[in-house]
Chain A
Amino acid sequence: MRMRTARSLLAVLLVGSAFRSTEAQDPRLSNRLDAPTRKALSAIVDSARAQGIPVEPLMEKVYQGLAMGADGSRIVVAVRSLTFEMGNAHRVLGAVATTDELKAAASAVHAGVPAVELGKMKKQSGLRRSLTLPFTVLADIVSRGVPVAAATNAIKSLVGAGAKDKDISDFQRNVSVDIEKGAQPAAAAETRAKGAVVPPPKAENREHE
């Protein structure tokens, strides 16, 4: 444990402050954030980097907050929350997860999906299959009212059936249209998941054709 802490501290010392280096390049950060906010963000970003969490999404969150006119304390809360969610995702997805997968997974965790479920999906799908899109769609349908369990089961079944990104994108579009038309969110997700991946015809059927 002591060794791990020492390594983290060393990493911070070696790479310097990611936040401060970005701050030096972009006057928006120094002009629009007060000193306590900058200090808090710098500490969060450095801590994230020391844990192996990519810091680019954290900086993007800062920029989003500035663009949307949020005050410093709200930006700090949002960045801290994102760091926590990405940390959870990082633990369950492992070192093989890309920054994009972590970012999408953090969205799903933010929406209420347990991180452990995302880890199960990653194991189920294999290392080579990117889950950026499935996680993004999972977060989307939960935010549209599909219960977490139903949404997770739907995405799991799609990934397990070998659905391509385009299939999952079509699934998201169909579910959102169904809900807008008044369908019960859980029913829409369950029904659309059944039809999203059509299994190939069996060999014996082809012989009769």
Chain B
Amino acid sequence: MPDWGRNTLELMVQELQHPVRLDESFDRRVMVRVRRIYAERRHRGIIGWLGAAASISRRPAWAAALAASVVAVVSLGIVRVVDRTPGAKPGQAIPIQFVLVAPDAHSVAVVGDFNNWGLNDTALVAENHNGVWSVSAPVHTGVHRYAFLVNGKQWVADPTAPRAADDDFGQPSSALVVEASTQ
């Protein structure tokens, strides 16, 4: 090694061996900063923690399993449902679209367990009067019986839904399952 190179190396070693003098307030300033970050994270709570950017290193297999678990926990299994709301919890109401094609109808309402069978609670609307009646109504997770009431007098089952077998009152009705699933 040439002399200039050896000298440079010795200078670097000396510099690195030289004790670093820190400001006397350094420790205090570091701890103040650490406490502030901790307090901010506590204030944000679990939602903030989940939303915070983080760097996580995992083996691909573990990452896939973790992602699948998260998807499984929040996924909803819904039978006759047009709308989905990822993240809905058991007991939470989510919007469900009800549709009935009835070109000759003057009025259509959906009546069922989810609105205590209130005849006038959930009316469907036929936009542009084209015979396609629809409404989006909040329905809690669970199994519900329901039917459409056409022109205030005719009960019609939902043709796109499973039938409710227990038509005790001589009128057809349908079954709707809105289920928060862990599958």
**Residues of A participating in the B interface, judged by any CB pair closer than 8 Å:** 26, 60-61, 63-70, 74, 77-78, 81-82, 99-100, 103-104, 106-108, 110-111, 128-130, 132-133, 136-137, 139-140, 142-144, 164-166, 169, 172
Contacts and interface: CB of A to CB of B under 8 A. Distances in A.
B179 A130 contact: yes
A139 B118 CA distance: 25
Nearest to B171: A68
Q: Tell me the dominant secondary structure on chain A's binding face.
A: helix
Contacts of A106: 166
Contact of B173 (A64, A144, A165): A64
A26 B170 CA distance: 25
A54 B118 CA distance: 22
A63 B119 CA distance: 10
Interface residues of B, number: 29
In the A-B complex, the 7 residue pairs with the smallest Cβ-Cβ separation, listed nearest first, are A165-B77, A78-B168, A140-B162, A67-B117, A111-B165, A63-B117, A139-B165
Contacts of A61: 168
B64 interface: no
Interface in B6-43: none
A100 B145 CA distance: 11
A100 B168 contact: no
Contact of B163 (A66, A82, A103, A143): A143
A100 B179 contact: yes
B177 A133 contact: yes
A140 B169 CA distance: 17
B169 A133 contact: no
A136 B169 contact: no
Nearest to A98: B142
A60 B173 CA distance: 13
A22 B30 CA distance: 62
B177 A132 contact: yes
Interface in B130-181: 142-143, 145, 155, 162-166, 168-171, 173, 175, 177, 179, 181
Contact of B183 (A26, A66, A136, A165): A165
Kindly name the residue among B113, B175, B179 whose own CB sees the greatest number of chain A CB atoms within 10 A.
Answer: B175
Nearest to A141: B162
A118 to B, nearest CB: 13
A19 B21 CA distance: 80
B78 to A, nearest CB: 8
B111 A104 contact: no
A4 to B, nearest CB: 29
A104 B177 contact: yes
A74 B166 CA distance: 13
A66 B117 CA distance: 8
B116 interface: yes
B79 interface: yes
Contacts of B142: 99-100
Nearest to A136: B175
A81 B117 contact: no
Contacts of A69: 169
A63 B115 CA distance: 10
A136 B168 contact: no
A136 B145 contact: no
Nearest to B161: A140
Contact of A100 (B143, B163, B169): B143
B182 interface: yes
Given A67-B119, A137-B162, A165-B183, A77 B79 contact: no
Kindly name the residue among A78, A100, A137 whose own CB sees the greatest number of chain B CB atoms within 10 A.
Answer: A100
Given A63-B113, A165-B183, 12 more contacts: A60-B113, A64-B173, A70-B169, A74-B168, A82-B168, A99-B142, A104-B143, A107-B164, A110-B165, A132-B143, A133-B179, A140-B175
